[in-house]
Amino acid sequence: MTIAFTPSDTPPAEAGPAVPESVVPGPAEEAHGPAEEPAGPVMAEEPEFWEPSAPEPRAEEDTEDREEDPEEDRDPEEVDPVVVRDARDFGVYARTGGWAFALKVARSVRPGGQAAEGDARRKVSAKAFAELAGCSPERVMRHYKAWDMAADDGLVPQFEALVPGEDVELPDADVWISYYSSRNSAVSVRGQAISAAAEAEGIRPTKALEVAENPTALRAAILADPGTAEAARGALLDRMKEDPALQTEMARAFVRTDDLKKAVASESKAADRIGYVRQIVEKGQIKTPAGQTVEAPPEVRAEAERHLSLLDELDDSEEAGEWAGEAYDAVKGLVAKAVEEDPALRVQERRTKFYSSLQKATKVFEELTLDEVLEEEVFEDDMLQRLEALQEAIGSCISALRRASTAS
């Protein structure tokens, strides 16, 4: 008789001792040979015939399947101790993040290397610890300061409670980033302000700190990239709203630069003209050439609304000066026409204009000081002639006003 089976007939089992040839396993007692031997048929002691061709392909498939399977059943004692140590260290870091390394610093380092009172084991300085670790003292101190802040918050023990080699329970890994910064500038007052602003903008503090530490790089980006320049402009405007000193510095820089001074004057003029049109639309009032403020006629208000809608549709990149000038001239022309077509308004406009001119002339005359004029080499005959002409003009004006008051 012949007994033949393939490896797929039974589940795989751990390698065991070889089965004697005189023993023929039954269905429930099948066993594999040694691990190094390929799986194949198991025969009786005196087989009548054997057909090996059938099981061979399946044995090959089984070998491939076994190579792809993970070693789930492997005894941990058989794993290389170095691999076990690395895996456990990785697990500690996965759970605690940088706290695992901060603990090593906290229990071994004391600035200056002085031992704490009652400390039987001497700690070392950050410099000495860094030399042993092969890194910089600054990096060691960043871990030290992170532990110090966490200790102040009650998350970890104070330095004095730790001795070299001691293990303590550590916070979760996701808390580490709240206390540790990879940059020295982050621990300063300036750095903390930058970090807070970065978090408010939704970016990592390290990015903002890196930019702050490289002003030359920031300048190069602003000079080369319009997008960066636009972001810088917006940031400066926001900053100036709360920084009067910066406002003064920027204004001084503009007025000291001729091109910028002209640009500011041009933009200021355009803004005033747009404000004139906007006031008519929003308040329904017009300001006459003499300075009166009266209700705007419907046609004037409609024209102002049309021009204002065009101005509001302009992109930030488009020049508003020409559009503002056109809107201002159009609306102001309608205002002058409305004043002339209204008799009462026309009279009031001229009266207001006369009073304005008279007030200005009076103020100028009052500012004349005769003491300076009477000094030697200051007086000129032309001065007297002009004053006499002015006196005649004032006399004529007074006479005209008297006649007008008598006629009325």
pLDDT tens for 5-31 read 344 444 444 444 444 443 344 444 444
Angle between helices 205-212 and 189-201 (to 10 degrees): 130
- The pLDDT, as a whole number, for residue 158 is 92
For CA atoms 200, 205, 210, 214, give the dihedral sign. Answer: positive
Question: Residue 55 pLDDT > 60, yes or no?
Answer: no
DSSP code per residue over 337-377: HHHHH-HHHHHHHHHHHHHHHHHHHHHHHHT--HHHHTSTT
Q: What 3-state class would DSSP assign to 316?
A: coil
Q: Phi-psi region for residue 396, left (φ > 0), alpha (ψ -120 to 50) or beta? A: alpha
Tell which wins on pLDDT, 2 or 274. Answer: 274
Instruction: Name which of 227, 215, 147 is nearest 179 in CA terms.
Output: 147
Buried b vs exposed e over 45-61: b needs ≥16 C-beta within 10 Å? eeeeeeeeeebeebbee
Question: Residue 233 pLDDT > 80, yes or no?
Answer: yes
Q: What 3-state class would DSSP assign to 35?
A: coil
Using a cut of 0.85, tell me whether the model's pTM lies above it. no
Phi, psi angle pair for 12, to nearest 5° = -65, 150
Average per-residue pLDDT for the chain? 75
Tell which wins on pLDDT, 147 or 205. Answer: 147
Q: What letter represents residue 213's amino acid? A: E
- The pLDDT, as a whole number, for residue 75 is 61
Cα torsion through 185, 191, 196, 201, rounded to 10: -70
Gap between the Cα atoms of 211 and 177, Å rounded: 20
Instruction: Name which of 299, 278, 273, 287 is nearest 352 in CA terms.
Output: 287
- Residue-wise pLDDT for 160-211, tens only, equals 889 888 889 988 888 887 777 655 555 567 777 877 787 788 777 777 777 8
Gap between the Cα atoms of 96 and 104, Å rounded: 13
| CB-CB contact of 37 with 59 (8 Å) | no
β-bridge pairing 293-295 and 285-287: antiparallel
Average pLDDT over residues 120-140: 85
